[in-house]
């Protein structure tokens, strides 16, 4: 594997996913010098807590150094600077670039202007490949494997970049079934259904959650994302479509695990937090180790 940039999970192979899962587990309790003397630019032009801080924690744990943009208003993009100019300048200041941007396709645009190691931390409603990898790592750890599992996605499946990114990786495995639960207005785009069909993976769509919980190994909740709606009335109409309570969780198998990319608003009640099935805070922690694995590997490949 000689990958030095990652903009979409669609580019990954099963061998790469398996490698990164293993590497993340190996780095779980490590502090290393793999990025000793390396400067990482953390470029977050869209709000982020977990992705930004887990990347920055990963850099520190690998012995690297950081320069940071925490929001677009603090950069020359506020003055109208084009993304390509921003990337051309910052690649001169840093050895590795990590970027989140509100525009779909921005990551693919950025790598046209740098050959430095680059990781997409989310581009609009399009892709979030490092989240997809940490999700796969979480499924592996929580369920003891990925093949043969029934995965349920609930909530905003139309705009949910975490769902879209994860589906590319699940399609590389022999999952038992994928269950999509959403309001009609937020259904999974047909492209992803066609992809699953092509891979021979069973799937189904419904708007009702409770009746499908008993067959799920993973119940992946998502937030109805206000920032993706042009019409706020539609957002407030759909907000609260699904609220996961402890009673609903108990409808599932004791081994079922609840995942969520976070932040949550009202879609999982806090009473669920103390249940064994609640994996979302462990999932968030796993982001550190997966991003350590990515940073270490891409930098090593770049220098070969």
The predicted structure's pLDDT at residue 231: 59
Enumerate helices (H) and strands (E) in the chain, giving the number of each.
Answer: 10, 10
Q: Which CATH number fits domain 129-284: 3.30.70.20, 3.40.309.10, 3.40.50.1370, 3.40.50.970?
A: 3.40.50.1370
List pLDDT tens digits, range 18-43: 999 999 999 999 999 999 999 999 99
C-alpha 141 chain-centroid distance? 16
Pair of tokens at residue 50:
């977990």
What is the gyration radius of the CA atoms in the chain, in angstroms? 19
User: Can you tell me the mean pLDDT for 239-256?
Assistant: 92
Q: Is the per-residue pLDDT at 240 higher than 70?
A: no
Q: For residue 221, report the phi and psi dihedrals to the nearest 5 degrees.
A: -85, 145
Among 284, 283, 231, 237, smallest CA distance to 257 is for: 283
Name, in order, each residue with C-beta under 8 angstroms of 27's C-beta and a sequence gap of 6 or more. Answer: 61, 289, 292, 293, 296
Report the half-sphere exposure of 252 (CA within 13 A, side-chain side).
28
Question: 217, 221, 197: which is closest to 209 by C-alpha?
Answer: 221
Domain 5-127+286-302 identical in fold to domain 129-284: yes
DSSP state of 184: G
pLDDT at residue 49 is higher than 80: yes
Paired tokens of 177: 């079934």
Tens digit of pLDDT for each residue in 156-185?
998 888 999 999 999 999 999 999 999 888
SS3 letters across 82-139: CHHHHHHHHCCCCCEEEEEECCCCHHHHHHHHCCCCEEEEEECCCECHHHHHHHHHHH
Q: pLDDT by residue (tens digit) across 204-231?
A: 999 999 999 999 999 999 987 555 555 5
Instruction: DSSP letter for 278, please.
Output: B
Q: How far apart are CA 261 and CA 238, in angstroms?
A: 19
Give the neighbor-by-neighbor strand order of the sheet with 39-44.
Answer: 5-6, 118-123, 96-101, 39-44, 65-69
* CATH T-level topology, domain 5-127+286-302: Rossmann fold (3.40.50)
Residue 79 banded pLDDT, cuts 50, 70, 90? low
Cα dihedral 245/251/253/256 (nearest 10)? -30
> Residue 290: which pLDDT band, with cuts at 50, 70 and 90?
very high
Residue 250 in tokens: 């108990």
Q: What is the mean pLDDT of the chain?
A: 92
Catalytic residues: 50-51, 79, 100, 128
pLDDT value at 76 more than 90 = no
Please state the domain extents for the chain: 5-127+286-302, 129-284
Residue for token digits 């990337």?
87
Strands 39-44 and 96-101: parallel
Calculate mean pLDDT across residues 196-201: 96
């Amino acid at each position: 594997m000689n990958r030095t940039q990652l903009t979409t999970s669609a580019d990954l192979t099963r061998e790469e996913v398996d490698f990164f899962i293993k590497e993340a587990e190996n780095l779980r309790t490590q502090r290393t010098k793999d990025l000793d003397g390396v400067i990482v630019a953390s470029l977050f032009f869209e709000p982020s807590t977990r992705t930004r801080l887990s990347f920055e924690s990963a850099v520190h744990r690998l012995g690297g150094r950081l320069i940071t943009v925490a929001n677009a208003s603090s950069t020359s993009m506020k003055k109208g600077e084009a993304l390509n100019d921003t990337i051309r300048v910052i690649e001169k200041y840093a050895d590795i670039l990590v970027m989140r941007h509100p525009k779909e396709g921005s990551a693919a645009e950025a790598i046209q202007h740098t050959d430095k190691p680059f990781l997409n931390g989310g581009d609009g409603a399009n892709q979030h490949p490092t989240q997809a990898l940490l999700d796969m790592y979480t499924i592996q750890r929580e369920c003891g494997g990925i093949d043969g599992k029934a995965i349920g996605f609930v909530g905003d499946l139309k705009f949910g970049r975490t769902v879209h990114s994860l589906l590319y990786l699940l399609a590389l495995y022999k999952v038992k079934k994928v269950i999509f639960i959403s309001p009609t207005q937020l259904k999974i785009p047909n492209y992803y259904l066609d992809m699953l069909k092509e891979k021979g993976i069973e799937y189904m769509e419904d708007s009702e959650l409770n009746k499908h919980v008993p067959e799920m190994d993973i119940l992946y909740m998502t937030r109805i994302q206000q920032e993706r709606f042009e019409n706020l009335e539609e957002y407030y109409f759909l907000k609260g479509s699904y609220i996961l309570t402890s009673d609903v969780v108990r409808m599932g198998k004791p081994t079922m695990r609840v995942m969520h990319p976070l932040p949550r608003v009202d879609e999982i009640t806090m009473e669920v937090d103390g249940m064994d099935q609640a994996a979302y805070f462990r999932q968030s922690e796993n982001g550190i180790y997966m991003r350590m694995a990515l940073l270490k590997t891409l930098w090593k490949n770049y220098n070969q």
